Amino acid sequence: MKFNIIMKKRNSALILLIAVLTVFTSCEKELNDSEKPVIVLSSPVEDGEIRPGSAIHFEVTLSDNKALASYKVNIHGAFDGHGHSSSASTRVSEYAQPFERTWLESDFIALGEEPIAGKRSVTIHHHLMQVPDSIGGRPVKEGHYHLTLYCTDAEGQESFLTREIVIAYDAGR
C-alpha cells in the first residue's frame, strides 16, 4: 500500500513537471521573433544618378514587429553588364578607380544621427554618404553600382534590399 502511494505521488510529480515544462516551452516559442525587419527605401531611386564629389540623398523607413538593432549601407561596382540601362557614358579611361564603401550605423551616429536600436520603426533621411570625385588620385569610375542596405533586428535576423544606382560625371546637369 505504501508502494502505491509513493508511485501515485511520483507520477503526480512527474505529470506536474511535464506540464510546467510544456508551459515554459510554449511561452518561449511565443516570445521568439520570427519576422525579419522591413526596409522601404525611398531614395535613391532605381537607376538614380549620382555625380562623383556629391552626397547621396538617402531616405529609408526601417521597421520590425519587435525591435530594430542596426543597419549598414554598402556601395560596390556592378560592372557585369546585367542589363540595366542609363544615359551615363563611360568617358573616363581604364585608369578610373571603382568606388566601394560600407557605412555602418556607427558612422552615421558619429555624424549626428540617432541610433535605431530598440525602436520598432524609424525613418532616416540624410545626405551623409559622399561619393568622392577621385580615389588615390584616380577619377571614380562611371557606371552602374549596387547600393545595398542591410537591417538587423534585435533577434539578429537580417533583411537586405539592393538598388542599382549610376555614378556619372554628367549627373544632374
For the chain, what percent of residues have pLDDT higher than 70?
73
d(CA 101, CA 92): 20
pLDDT band at 87 (very low <50, low <70, confident <90, very high): very low
Cell 500500500: give the residue: 1
The model's pLDDT over 20-72, given as tens digits with 9 standing for 90+, comes to 666 555 544 446 778 999 999 999 999 999 999 999 999 999 999 999 999 99
Q: Any residues with CB less than 8 A from the CB of 102 and at least 6 apart, and which?
A: 72, 73, 74, 75
Question: In the prediction, which pLDDT does 33 show?
Answer: 77
CA-based end-to-end distance of the chain: 98
Question: In the prediction, which pLDDT does 79 show?
Answer: 80
> Which of 3-17, 26-40, 78-92, 126-140 is least confident?
78-92
Residue 171 has pLDDT above 50, yes or no: yes
- Rounded to two decimals, the pTM is 0.74
Task: Please state which CATH number belongs to domain 38-167.
Answer: 2.60.40.10
The model's pLDDT over 16-26, given as tens digits with 9 standing for 90+, comes to 556 666 655 55
Residue 1 has pLDDT above 70, yes or no: no
pLDDT band at 88 (very low <50, low <70, confident <90, very high): very low
Output 31 or 3, whichever has higher pLDDT.
31
Output 164 or 88, whichever has higher pLDDT.
164
Output 138 or 85, whichever has higher pLDDT.
138
